[in-house]
Amino acid sequence: MAGRKSSNGEVAGPRNVVLEVSSAHRTQLLEVTPQVAKAVADSGVTSGICHLYVPHTTAGITVNENADPEVARDVEATLDRLVPRNAGYAHAEGNADSHVKSVLVGVSESIPIENGRLTLGAWQGIFFCEFDGPRRRKLRLRIISDPS
Amino acid sequence: MAGRKSSNGEVAGPRNVVLEVSSAHRTQLLEVTPQVAKAVADSGVTSGICHLYVPHTTAGITVNENADPEVARDVEATLDRLVPRNAGYAHAEGNADSHVKSVLVGVSESIPIENGRLTLGAWQGIFFCEFDGPRRRKLRLRIISDPS
Amino acid sequence: MAGRKSSNGEVAGPRNVVLEVSSAHRTQLLEVTPQVAKAVADSGVTSGICHLYVPHTTAGITVNENADPEVARDVEATLDRLVPRNAGYAHAEGNADSHVKSVLVGVSESIPIENGRLTLGAWQGIFFCEFDGPRRRKLRLRIISDPS
């Protein structure tokens, strides 16, 4: 995990990074693009894949529009409509809907890296998806070098 | 696919593994965490990614809570409510809903490996998702070594 | 990105490929299996992973049945039913539903490669998912070699 010299003589940073995310609402998409982009830059990896992993069962990860914040609000509202908080669930903790939302959105995502940068589309941002907040959460990054 | 000597002299096992899964119900989340964890341990890979792939069109793979089995039951019931078995589908085989559920849940998942183990969260388990059972199914594992 | 000699002396092609896809409808699953299979063959990679990435916020990628085209139509119709075009969204561009569908289906997918070929199941095809067409779109492929 310590810094190492890359082939061009620069010290490369760690390729396993754990980010911390804090939510303020029960259902909330939180943009983490700057933190992920910084981790990719710090890693020194110029070509490869950035793998994102959520080690929680009532949260997820997605990539979608970050230009208009209303889009994230519409995603939150639609998930709450499709999978309401109370719907006669068997799980007794009151967050069965949060688990289902996590399954629908997914807990991992992979984004290519080229020329040392994430190849996000023009309107894309990376969002940690909180479905049982407010909470403090972790997001695991693994930056894989694959010169091609 | 045969065993090979790893850098520390131990014989490492295969990194491509096909697991078999048997379902008992039409819609059923089946936990496969022990089998996947064993394949990772057998592979000898200490740092990397475990990639899971479902080669079927009416099944999926997800990661969610395995502590309370009611959570898996709530996921099954909610998917059956959102995408009912009969809803005027065009596909004539009677399992159009199973295909849609497969698209919503997804057929691949990737989990980081550190210190020779899957970095699953405290409450996370890996579930093969049957949407057109009962059946015998396959789950492909690919264990990728990426020392970082 | 230029061709290189692989270990067996053959010239291997590029491992980063951008495909172009054109949709004819607003919501449309477009099969891209032949183009992806060709890129894998051209890459010269015999064992590894093919990573697919959609750099758009109103589109997605999935793997499902390609034998009966009615299945793709049922997926389109069910997504349009679950997330209708007009439902009081906050986002003012008239395509909030397209963003939500992208989140539900996902923008990345990974498929193992063995013996130089995608390990797709017997009935599986790869579908670019248009949710705000008709449009011209891009699909990023990254072919990762991992001899195992």
Residues 6+ apart with CB under 8 A from B35: B19
Does the CB of A103 have a partner CB in chain B at under 8 Å? Answer: yes
Q: Please state the rounded mean pLDDT for residues A137-142.
A: 98
Q: Hey, what are A17's tokens?
A: 């990074």
Q: Say whether C63 and B1 touch across the interface (CB within 8 A).
A: no
- List the single residue in B with minimal CA-CA distance to A6: B148
In chain B, which residues have their Cβ closer than 8 Å to the Cβ of A50? none
At C127-145, the pLDDT tens digits run 999 999 999 999 999 999 9
The mean pLDDT of chain B is 93
* Confidence at residue A129, expressed as pLDDT on a 0 to 100 scale: 98
At C17-72, the pLDDT tens digits run 999 999 999 999 999 999 999 999 999 999 999 999 999 999 999 999 999 999 99
Does the CB of A122 have a partner CB in chain B at under 8 Å? Answer: no
Q: Is it the case that residue A77 has pLDDT exceeding 60?
A: yes
- List the single residue in B with minimal CA-CA distance to A82: B82
Chains that touch C (3 or more CB pairs under 8 A): A, B
- Using the structure block, give the residue that is written with the tokens 């520390």: B8
Chain C nearest C-alpha distance from B63 (Å) = 15
Q: C52-87 burial by CB neighbour count: b if 16+ within 10 A, else e?
A: bbbbbbbbbbbbbbbebebbbbbbbbbbeebbeeee
* Confidence at residue B119, expressed as pLDDT on a 0 to 100 scale: 97
Does the CB of A78 have a partner CB in chain C at under 8 Å? Answer: yes
In chain B, which residues have their Cβ closer than 8 Å to the Cβ of C73? 90-91
Q: Say whether C57 and A49 touch across the interface (CB within 8 A).
A: no
Does the CB of C108 have a partner CB in chain B at under 8 Å? Answer: no
Q: Say whether B112 and A15 touch across the interface (CB within 8 A).
A: no
Does the CB of B78 have a partner CB in chain C at under 8 Å? Answer: no
Does the CB of A135 have a partner CB in chain B at under 8 Å? Answer: no
- The DSSP line for B35-101 is HHHHHHHHHT--SEEEEEE---SSEEEEEEE-SSHHHHHHHHHHHHHHS-S-S--S-TTS-HHHHHH
- What Rg, from alpha-carbon coordinates, does chain B have? 17
In chain A, which residues have their Cβ closer than 8 Å to the Cβ of C14? 148
User: Domain A16-145: what homologous superfamily?
Assistant: YjbQ-like (2.60.120.460)
| CA pair distance B38, C148, nearest whole angstrom | 18
Does the CB of A99 have a partner CB in chain B at under 8 Å? Answer: yes
At A84-109, the pLDDT tens digits run 999 999 998 999 999 999 999 999 99
Q: Say whether B57 and C123 touch across the interface (CB within 8 A).
A: yes
Chain C nearest C-alpha distance from B70 (Å) = 23
Domain spans in chain A, listed from the N-terminal domain onward: 16-145
Q: Are A83 and A67 in contact (CB under 8 A)?
A: no
At A110-126, the pLDDT tens digits run 999 999 999 999 999 99
* Cβ-based contacts under 8 A for chains A and C: 93
Evaluate if pTM is beyond 0.90: yes
Architecture per CATH, C15-145:
Sandwich (2.60)
Chain B nearest C-alpha distance from A25 (Å) = 21
Q: Say whether A103 and B49 touch across the interface (CB within 8 A).
A: no
pLDDT in tens, chain B (148 residues): 344 454 544 556 799 999 999 999 999 999 999 999 999 999 999 999 999 999 999 999 999 999 999 999 999 999 999 999 999 999 989 999 999 999 999 999 999 999 999 999 999 999 999 999 999 999 999 999 988 6
| CA pair distance C131, C104, nearest whole angstrom | 11
Residue B56 phi, psi (nearest 5) = -130, 160
Tell me how crowded residue B93 is: count the other CB atoms within 10 A of its CB. Answer: 14
Does the CB of B144 have a partner CB in chain C at under 8 Å? Answer: yes
* Confidence at residue C11, expressed as pLDDT on a 0 to 100 scale: 55
Residue C5: pLDDT band (50, 70, 90) is low
Is C115 exposed, middle or buried, given 0-12, 13-18 or 19+ CB atoms closer than 10 A? Answer: exposed
